[in-house]
Structure 1
Amino acid sequence: MSQTFKQLIALLSSFSLSLILLVHAQDQSGFISIDCGATENSTYTLQASGLNYIPDTTFINTGENKLILPEYRDGYILPYISLRSFPEGIRNCYKINVTSGIKYLIRAAFLYGNYDGQNKVPDFDLYLGPNLWDSVRFPNASEATTIKELIHVPLRNYIHVCLVNTASGVPFISAIELRPLPNAAYGTQMPNDTLALAVRYDTGPTALNYTLHRYPSDVHDRFWEPAERSDWTQLSTSSTINPDYNHNVPSFVMRTAATPKRANESLNFYLEPDDQNSACYLYMHFAEVEELQANQSRQMYITKNGQPIIKSFSPNYLSTDTIRISTAMSERSYFSIFAANNSILSPILNALEIYTVKEFLQSETNQADDNFDQIFCLLLKMIVEAITNIKATYKIKRNWQGDPCAPQVYSWEGLNCSYHANEPPRIISFQVMEYAIRDLSSSGLTGEIALSISNLILLQTLDLSNNNLTGPIPDFLSELPHLNVLNLEKNNFGGSVPAGLIEKGRNGSLSLSFV
């Protein structure tokens, strides 16, 4: 397994536990740290970082809990030892409550660790809501680790993180982490663009003596990797670097800087796009780490493919400035940081982040808008929530996960939606109710009849036969206005059949079976 990835998520300890807990209490507000595949009620706090992890059982009810094999566990912290695999179903989704309109760093981690004993890595797709986030692929079984990271502003008070089986092995996931960011961080030309992390480099340190840090060293729990280059050397200071409060790049990153080994040379790097015509954002973080004398100056400018794109500037002493560069990437692009003609000192770069813009064009299913009948919207929302609650109550494993209509290929079984260009999809009929209830016979259901069924006011057929349901037969069944078939046979109900049901059976408006 890659040493970089091991360091990235290794158990780090440089603070006393009391300080960790204090930082945790002050700065961890809004963090969501999910250990996928952990056993139910196994909430825990990592002692070195103070990060609180919770099991994923309240976010999903499909999949299987697994552990990576012991020989692969060296160097990994607890959240990466367990995982959840999904041998059944095409799409399996986590539903995670968030604060709409808040910018989040969303991270999904995958560590194979030969958990299935097959020594064969899968390929599968990762979705955020109805949109493809990325494909999850591994070079080989021994290096089967990867992290996917987005910066995203949810428009609703929840997100769906979905794994899709592409017939190339069983999907799995190790951890999901959400970290709120300042809304001014990682600004883009279009408001609320979604950004996918390409690289995040601490450019100053040498890889040999570098320890990869996360929270609490970085208040936003970002992972910083060293970017050692043979043609670069390092400058450093032991002083604290004041942050740019939009991005809060930690001082331990900013107090080192890369500079060319040879005088009069530039700092050079190139960017190879994954997709043709993709849009990219570069966030270059600068801080002067040397106290310059009166006769010294450090003036720099930045070029792309030999053309100036950022005019001459000077980094501030012990204070972070971030320069954002937006660029379209149709082919490999070369970036250089030059010393200006009047500069005495060589250019520097403290840290670099590169993101690609994700074209999340598929809208989520429309549940209400100004042009949509408000009564029908409320009815629609009530029915979708009822189906979801029935599924959770009876632990029904059907394809009722993620967005109901989108993407179309993964829409809920039995649901009909309309799809029109430039409009969000809409539910137009509720056969899903008939599909759901028809299939609830002989389903191993226990407990009482779910109250959520009372919200399915368009329901025509309800078949709960051949289960182990108990308790009284509820009166609300007689109040469902369109119900004309009700089969409650072969259960263990107590008490009498409600008079309203008996009357409907007698007058022929309801076919009733309850023996």
Structure 2
Amino acid sequence: MGYFGKVQVFSLAVLCSILAAKTVSAQGAPLQEGFISIDCGATSNYVESATGLLWVPDSNHTSAGVNSAEVTGATTFSASMSTLRYFPKPQKSCYLLPGTTPNASYMVRHTYWYGNYDKLNRVPTFYVALDAAKAAEINSSGLSEPYVYEHVYKAKRNSITFCLYRDATNSTPFINSLELRPFQTGAYEQNVLKLGGVLSVLYRFNMGGSRDLRFPDDVYDRIWTRWTLDGVKVETLSPVDPNNLPLMPPSAVMKTASSPAVLGPETYLGLIFTLLSAYPSPDTVLNLYFAEISTNSSATSRAFNISLNANTPVVTENPYIDAGGALKADVKSFIGWGAYTTLGITLTPLPTATDPPLLNGVEILFSKRLSVDATDATDVLAIEQIKDALNLTLSSAGDPCLPVPIAWITCSSASPPRIITIRLSNYNLSRQIPTAFASLSALTLLWLDNNALTGVIPDLSKLTSLKSLHLENNALSGTIPTSLGSLPLTELFLQNNKFVGMVPTSLIRTNLLLDLSGNPGITDGRVYSGPSASPSGPPTPSADNGGSKSKPNTTIIAGIVGGIVGALLLIGCVAAIIWIRRNKIGSKLKSNTSLKSSHAPSHKPIESGLVPGAQRYSYAEITAATNGFKKKIGSGGFGPVHYGRLSNGQEVAIKALDDSSQQGAQEFTNEVELLSRIHHRNLVKLLGYCEEGNHRMLVYEFLPKGTVQEHLYGSPRAAREPLDLKLRLDIALNAAQGLEYLHNGCNPNIIHRDIKSNNILLTDKYVAKVADFGLSKLGVPGVAATHVVTDVKGTIGYLDPEYYVSNALTEKSDVFSFGVVLLEILSARPPIDQSIPNQDNRNICNWVRASLQTGNIDYILDPVILREHPNMNVVWKVAELAMLCVEPKGKHRPSMQDVVRELREAISVNGSSGTYDNFVGNSTYQFRPGGASGSGSSKHSLPNDSNNSMVKPRAR
């Protein structure tokens, strides 16, 4: 008899046939000790009648992901296949399997049936990990039945974490069921498992049986698939006791076998198994199960050699009836036999044999050595204590760093990895700060801001690498620990808490950005906000400056402040009179263009002191302030920008009008007069000007945090802290408010014409201010390669396509440019990315539109945002708002008033746990999966006529 057949893949239809049964009430259900059976996506418990096992929902084992009950074709299979949980967020998502014993062996089984739950007709590829190690790649593409994975794994702690994560393909992980089964001591204790590996089941066959088996036939609930290829099935009615074997094969498997029909001179039993790939010799385990079937057998009647891949016989097997009369079960294990893509098993009878060879069961497993080092043990213990203390266990299960980090953690590349940053901002934390943070000795950044933490700051003196500590906007109390002064902190934000007492003198230093505002219990009478060495910062206290001097100083300061306020009020009245008189003349002029011919040509040059809020500087003063124009910090259509410091110590940015400009002196002074009257907290303030000979310059306040572009994707970004979603929304709102003021709060109204992320600057507190407004008349045509050289002015990538075609500038042109900025804020990608081969995707509008139309918003988000568990409903709303702003036709875009309103609502929802379904007047949504979240329509609903080539949606 020749080979019985060839097996291509571990047949898993067995799971379906075993489990496809009606469920019964959970009351009185038999439970196997240590079994955990999780139906992912289910909403209630149930008991499977075929196995008697209790299945539970996954809500007590994970807090990540989204449930789905729209799994097609599930009725053909088991109840657990009819639901699933999917994980749209890019970070690692984990299940917690509790109750394990360290160093004990367990089976972890997980099952996948895509069922087109997302209506995308594409089976994703992703990965799973057991604790710190990658265990499998999940790819069930092309299979017509559920795909089942079984792993034999040795627990390291009192729980096992099972995690799903994606790679750069951006597939969405999902899972239908997850099971945990304990093994008795000694089971699967092959050397690869003892070394800390994980065994994955490739094949397991019930060679002689007529049915598939699992629990209760198998006390471990392993799945045994019936052998369906050629061969003679033999069986016995006598009991077979497998309890002498740690592997505990089911008695039902051992009572049946495959065998040649008769014994002859060329009789042998041959099987061929196709392995999924070549496995090196130490990485594959073969278990062959034997038990005598005939009660008439003797010690020599059924003796045969076992060889693998036709090699020299490796072992002799001789099943027989023992002295007690019971049938004996035996297992032969082979660990590593060479690197082959196929495995041939040959059983050849010995010359003395009177019965043909037989085989009761086959099990093939391959081992993955866990070569990675788990995260530093001290760090792991500290994180576990932190998670328990802050109730983050389910949302942040798994090894902190491996195979990918927890969303709120960053790790070093050392071996073993160390935890270097923790960002738990806006996590709704409401307990005390765990003392375990002090054990993370490699920590450089700790952000716990915008929560509801209480109690005192614990001793963090062991964090000798800590540079950034954010605890603002909590309910912390007590005094500020003096130990913080011994740390290498460059940022310490403690504002808006309940701290009391004196500020430690060790914290008053020039290299520390310190903010203690909003703590009325600070008793030394000083306000700490911003760098300690800045002019507005706190004075360094002397040894003899006690509390007795606080009150007189306060009185003197109050008098000075009162005098200043009175003077400002007087100046304000004069300014108001001048403005009213001029406005009567200006109201007769056209006000629907940006600084177009709105000033009388006979206006005289401005004299110092005549324009409220603007100071006239000499060229010598400007030269001294810039140290001879030594430090250039930017350039644009207006000309170069230099850093300067005035004689009073104030930092400034000085824009020098390019010598090639055709701007006349009279027109320059007219524009400066208008700009000097524009004041808003979200507009960069004009402090003064210089008009001397051929030199014409504008003096602006200096904003130390630079441009939004630099923080998103500019070359200096690596040296800056990344912006979280809350901060990005605040920045977007700040800029929108400044732009809305230009449109509606100025007379004449001002159209910016060049809104871009490089023209939005940040204060030291990350307040955004719009720059370069009103400078379109002062710019030099064509001085920068990014600027359009025709009468149309603006920057490529931000330019309104309707304005570009018609030359008709409107406020909606600024709205388009602002929409591009919103897309930059979400994606951290430039508006035109020349590095992308596909020209259609170089334009950020095309790229985002194509991604959103497929429902794939994760693909366009900056990974910095994704790592913080963002409110995806808010993210969708902001993305949709941005796409409304960049509609090809201006009539379809919202006004800046609408944009401001919607951003304010987005920020409100982002800071709460509520939902956010009303958007831009309940408009319809084009992109969101599952249709519109609102109802009805409005003047801002998305149109279907996206015909302009600059923003036309195309497939990626």
TM range (shorter): 0.7 to 0.9
Contact 1:204 1:234 in 2 (8 A): yes
Residue 478 of structure 1, CA deviation: 7.6
Pair 485,337 (structure 1): closer, same or farther in 2 beyond 3 Å: closer
Larger C-alpha radius of gyration, 1 or 2? 2
Alignment of 1:77-226 (within 5 A): 77=79, 79-97=80-98, 98-140=100-142, 143-166=144-167, 167=169, 169-190=171-192, 192=194, 193-206=197-210, 210=211, 212-226=212-226
Q: Deviations over 1:251-271 (max 9, x none)?
A: 111111101145432111124
Letter in 1 for 2:398: G
Contact 1:46 1:52 in 2 (8 A): yes
Alignment of 1:346-495 (within 5 A): 346-367=356-377, 377=378, 380=379, 383-389=382-388, 392=391, 401-407=397-403, 410=405, 414-417=409-412, 419-420=414-415, 425-427=416-418, 431-433=420-422, 436-437=423-424, 440=425, 443=426, 445=428, 449-457=430-438, 464-465=449-450, 469=452, 474-477=454-457, 488-489=472-473
Contact 1:266 1:347 in 2 (8 A): yes
**2:257 equivalent in structure 1:** 257
**1:503 equivalent in structure 2:** 501
Pair 360,8 (structure 1): closer, same or farther in 2 beyond 3 Å: farther
Pair 172,283 (structure 1): closer, same or farther in 2 beyond 3 Å: same
- TM-score relative to the length of structure 2: 0.44
- 1:385 counterpart SS class: helix
Residue 47 of structure 1, CA deviation: 3.8
Q: State how many pairs are aligned.
A: 462
Q: Indicate the structure with greater strand content.
A: 1
Residue 99 of structure 1, CA deviation: 1.0
Contact 1:68 1:112 in 2 (8 A): no
Q: What is the rounded CA distance, in whole Å, between the counterparts of 2:303 and 2:103 in structure 1?
A: 39
Residue 10 of structure 1, CA deviation: 2.7
Matched, 1:289 2:278: no
Q: What is the rounded CA distance, in whole Å, between the counterparts of 1:291 and 1:382 in structure 2?
A: 58
Letter in 2 for 1:120: R
**1:311 equivalent in structure 2:** 316
Letter in 1 for 2:234: L
Residue 507 of structure 1, CA deviation: 6.7
- 2:387 counterpart SS class: helix
Q: Deviations over 1:425-463 (max 9, x none)?
A: 142xx5423xx14xx2xx373xx7322445434898656
Letter in 1 for 2:151: L
Alignment of 1:312-351 (within 5 A): 312-316=317-321, 318-331=327-340, 332-351=342-361
Pair 478,287 (structure 1): closer, same or farther in 2 beyond 3 Å: closer
Pair 345,177 (structure 1): closer, same or farther in 2 beyond 3 Å: same
Matched, 1:512 2:492: no
Identity of aligned residues (%): 25
Q: What is the rounded CA distance, in whole Å, between the counterparts of 2:327 and 2:393 in structure 1?
A: 59
Residue 394 of structure 1, CA deviation: 11
Q: Deviations over 1:55-81 (max 9, x none)?
A: 22233221111124354223313x332
**2:271 equivalent in structure 1:** 269
Matched, 1:72 2:74: yes
- 2:398 counterpart SS class: coil
- 2:327 counterpart SS class: coil
Q: What is the rounded CA distance, in whole Å, between the counterparts of 1:386 and 1:294 in structure 2?
A: 62
Pair 185,462 (structure 1): closer, same or farther in 2 beyond 3 Å: closer
Contact 1:386 1:452 in 2 (8 A): no
Q: Indicate the structure with greater helix content.
A: 2
Q: Deviations over 1:404-434 (max 9, x none)?
A: 2333x547655343524xxxx142xx5423x
Contact 1:234 1:257 in 2 (8 A): yes
- TM-score relative to the length of structure 1: 0.79
- 2:68 counterpart SS class: strand
Q: What is the rounded CA distance, in whole Å, between the counterparts of 2:289 and 2:90 in structure 1?
A: 44
Q: What is the rounded CA distance, in whole Å, between the counterparts of 2:260 and 2:292 in structure 1?
A: 15
* Equivalent in 53, 56, 63 of residue 65 of structure 2: 63
Q: What is the rounded CA distance, in whole Å, between the counterparts of 1:312 and 1:394 in structure 2?
A: 50
Q: What is the rounded CA distance, in whole Å, between the counterparts of 2:171 and 2:410 in structure 1?
A: 28
Letter in 2 for 1:342: T
Q: Deviations over 1:153-207 (max 9, x none)?
A: 122222221212131631111122111112222232356243211111000034x
Q: What is the rounded CA distance, in whole Å, between the counterparts of 2:74 and 2:26 in structure 1?
A: 28
Q: What is the rounded CA distance, in whole Å, between the counterparts of 1:3 and 1:426 in structure 2?
A: 41
Letter in 2 for 1:450: R
Alignment of 1:239-250 (within 5 A): 239-243=238-242, 244-250=244-250
Contact 2:288 2:361 in 1 (8 A): yes
Q: What is the rounded CA distance, in whole Å, between the counterparts of 1:394 and 1:291 in structure 2?
A: 57
- 1:252 counterpart SS class: helix
Q: What is the rounded CA distance, in whole Å, between the counterparts of 1:48 and 1:312 in structure 2?
A: 36
Pair 258,72 (structure 1): closer, same or farther in 2 beyond 3 Å: same
Residue 96 of structure 1, CA deviation: 2.3
Q: Please, which runs of 5 or more residues in structure 1 have no aligned partner?
A: 368-376
Contact 1:34 1:56 in 2 (8 A): yes
Q: What is the rounded CA distance, in whole Å, between the counterparts of 1:12 and 1:340 in structure 2?
A: 50
Matched, 1:235 2:234: yes
Q: Which has the higher contact order (CA 8 A, sep 6+)?
A: 1
- 2:16 counterpart SS class: helix
Contact 2:110 2:175 in 1 (8 A): yes
Compare 196-205 and 500-509 and name the one that shifted more. 500-509
Q: What is the rounded CA distance, in whole Å, between the counterparts of 1:454 and 1:128 in structure 2?
A: 28
